[in-house]
Each structure stands twice: as C-alpha cells, then as structure tokens.
Structure 1
Amino acid sequence: MMKRLVTALVLGLGFTINSAQAEKSASPPAIPYWSVWADTEGVTHQTRCAVSNLQLEDFASSGNPEWVSQNDPASKRYVFNVMPVGWVGNWHKNPAPQWIIPLSGRWFVKTTDGKRLEMGPGEISFGGDQNAQIVNGQQGHQSGSVGNQPAKVIIIQLTQPIVGLSDPKCSGGGLPIR
C-alpha cells in the first residue's frame, strides 16, 4: 500500500513516461532529489542525487507499462504537514530516514555546513541526518516555510536507513548528480 502511495505521488509529480516513450528509452529515467546527510564528523550537508532503480512494469493498468521503483524499503508511517507562513523550526535531526515531498508552497532546509536550499512542488528531499552531531551549537538541520503561503508537504518515514548505498552522500539511494 505504501509503495503504491509513494509511487503514485512521485509519478503524479510529473515523472511519468508513457509506454511509447518508455519503449524508446534505453535506460530508466532518473528521479532527482536533495539528500540531507551527515559525514563522519557529524556535519550535515545537502547533495543533489538521483535514483534510477526503476523498471518497466504494469502498475496501474495492464498493457501500459510504467517505470516503477524497485526494492523500496518499508515505511513505518506517513504524515501530512503544513508549515504556516513564516514558520521556522529549531535545529534538529530527522526523527527517522524520511522522504519529504512538497505538495504546495515553498520550504527551506539549512544544514550545519551553511548550505540553505529552497524547494517547492516536485523538488524532493530525503532526510538522512540521523548521525548528525552538534556543530557550533547546531545539530542536524533547520527548516521552515518560504514566501506568503504555507508549505504543505507529505513526509514518508522509513522503518530503517536504506542499506547498500552506492554513495553515502545519497542517503535515499542512487548517485550524486554531477
């Protein structure tokens, strides 16, 4: 059920490719995201990554294959979250490895390395900073809403970190986009 919800959300954000396009494509499409991760010193960073563990399969209807992610980790819960206009949270670690998918409005994430990114609908983030340490009085990341409308997101928490990562900078899987 959760895999279908996540896939439906991601596909609904404009990452679908029709079957004619899919058959012409030699390799699966990549889905970009921002990874929030902690290095061995506990300093948090953000890296642009892409997952491409997709395979063509009949998902929503028979005879019309779509690109669908494979080997997805189990999720423990999902929540809808609304950050009011002007809301800025305290510094914190993500409570669990989690996907954050903006539905409307804009939000920001600032990591302890000083990098601040703003994201809106279709710009996915993965929170994998559970090993963050206190750096200059700050731990993990800070987030908040941007602009004159609330930031509405869905957060999908995983039961455990993703295993077998190709690159630790991409805590949601995949590889950095260079």
Structure 2
Amino acid sequence: MSKETKPPTRNRVDILLLSAAALVVLSAAVPIVLRMATGKSTGNSSEQPNDFRYYQIYTSEAGTTHFGKWKMTGFDLQPYGSKPQYVRSDFGGEPTKLVFTELAVGLEQPLHSCPAVQFVVTLSGSWYVKTTDGTKFAFKPGDVLFQDNTKNSPASKQPEHYSGVVGDQPCQQMIVQLLRPPQVNEPNPF
C-alpha cells in the first residue's frame, strides 16, 4: 500500500496576496504593452472620466502637511479588457509593495509619517487623517488617498499626520507603495 502525498497548500491569505500582487504587476505591464502596440502614450487623450476623485496629503517646504481633494486626469481611452476603457498607469514610480491591513476599532495613531510614497484604498469601515495644518477628513469605502509625507521628504521638517478608526467597526485597507521620491509643494500631482 503506497501513501499518497499531497503537495503543500498555501493558506487563503497567501493566495489573495499573491493574486493581488500579480494584478498590480499586470496593471502596470498591460498598458505599456498596449501603448507599444498602438503607439498611444498615457495622458494624451482629450476625453477623461467624468469624476475620478482622489485625496492627497501633501507637504509644504516647511514640513506642514495639508489635505487636498482632487479629480484625477491623465487617462487614455484604450482597449484594456476587450472594449476601450479609461486607463491610467503612470504615477511617477513603479509599484513596490502591496499591503492589506485592518485597523482595529478605537485605534488612534500618534503623529507619524507614512512608511513610503503610497496609495491607500479604503475597502470597508472608516478611518480619518488629521494633517498638521489642522484639517481632518474621514475616509469611507472606495476612497483613495495618495500620500508622500515620508521620513525622507525634502521638506525642512519631517512631515507627519495623525490617523485613526472612525466608528465601531474595524477599517480594512489596501495599500500600494510606489518607488517614487516624496515631493514638497505638489498638490494634485495626478
């Protein structure tokens, strides 16, 4: 009688993280291949999505953090699936890390900088950011935040912010970190 050996299995979180990482890589690669095949360049389309909102923490030369609400532009209308859709994949740096996180109910983060230039997408629950200029904003599911107030900012003082959970439910987020240098005095970079 022979024993049947089973290949090692990955747990569900590992599979989700690997799948999400593959999507990030593909989302960066596919538009490049399409541009090479079609000769189109990103951002030159005169048509843009109606209202593609994003939020930003940006830094002044003095290191004070500020909050902005903007409309993203720079999209191309191109075949991405089978039919044309609006695509933007250039954000000034390649994706380097994908993180899923859950902030616990009652979490209050002290003054801190973000670990890397990153986009934070709220998946469920709600959380807030308070900048050093006193502006406070609560994010809900579907909101996208861009922040580059990192410790290695060229600002004269380390740019920081407060953050925490809003309400009685945990907040789940997806974070995409970019290999992009932090900037100062650059509201609405996209």
**TM class by smaller structure:** 0.7 to 0.9
1:157 maps to 177
Structure 2 CA distance for aligned equivalents of residues 79 and 70 of structure 1: 19
Deviation at 1:71, TM superposition (A): 2.4
Which range moved further: 109-118 or 46-55?
A: 46-55
Structure 1: gaps spanning 5 or more residues: 7-25
2:162 is the counterpart of 1:142: yes
| TM-score where L is the length of structure 1 | 0.73
| Identity between Structure 1 and Structure 2 (%) | 29
Instruction: Judge conservation of contact 2:114–2:147 (CA < 8 Å) in 1.
Output: yes
The amino acid that maps onto 1:107 is W
Amino acid at match of 2:84: P
* Structure-1 residue corresponding to 2:88: 69
**1:42 corresponds to:** 63
| 2:125 pairs with 1:99 | no
Q: With structure 2 as the length reference, what TM-score do the two structures score?
A: 0.69
Of residues 125, 128, 133, the one that matches 1:113 is: 133
Deviations 1:124-143 (A, max 9, x none): 11111123626xxxx50011
C-alpha contact (below 8 Å) 1:55/1:70 kept by paired residues: no
Q: Provide the secondary structure at the position in 2 that maps to 1:77.
A: strand
Structure 1 residue 81: Cα displacement: 0.8
Instruction: Measure, in 1, the Cα distance between the counterparts of 2:58 and 2:88.
Output: 22
Q: What SS is found at the alignment partner of 1:42?
A: coil
Q: Could you say if the C-alpha distance between residues 5 and 108 of structure 1 is closer, same or farther in structure 2, counting changes exceeding 3 Å?
A: farther
The structure-2 alpha-carbon separation of the partners of 1:79 and 1:5, relative to structure 1 and needing over 3 Å to count, comes to farther
Give the total of aligned pairs: 146
- C-alpha displacement of 1:89: 1.0
Q: More strand per residue: 1 or 2?
A: 1
Correspondence 1:84 to 2:104: yes
1:168 is matched with which residue? 186
* 2:118 counterpart letter in structure 1: Q
Gaps of 5+ in 2: 1-21, 29-45
- Looking at CA atoms only, which structure, 1 or 2, has the larger radius of gyration? 2
The separation in 1 between residues aligned to 2:71 and 2:161, in whole angstroms, is: 21
Q: Which residue of structure 2 lines up, in the alignment, with residue 14 of structure 1?
A: none
2:85 partner amino acid: E
Aligned to 2:145: 125
Q: Does 1:54 align with 2:71?
A: no
Instruction: Return the offset for 1:5.
Output: 5.5
- 1:56 is displaced (CA, Å) by 1.2
Q: Which AA in structure 1 matches 2:78?
A: E
Quote the offset at 1:98 in angstroms: 0.3
Q: Is the 8 A contact 1:53 1:70 kept in 2?
A: no
Structure 1 letter corresponding to 2:58 = W
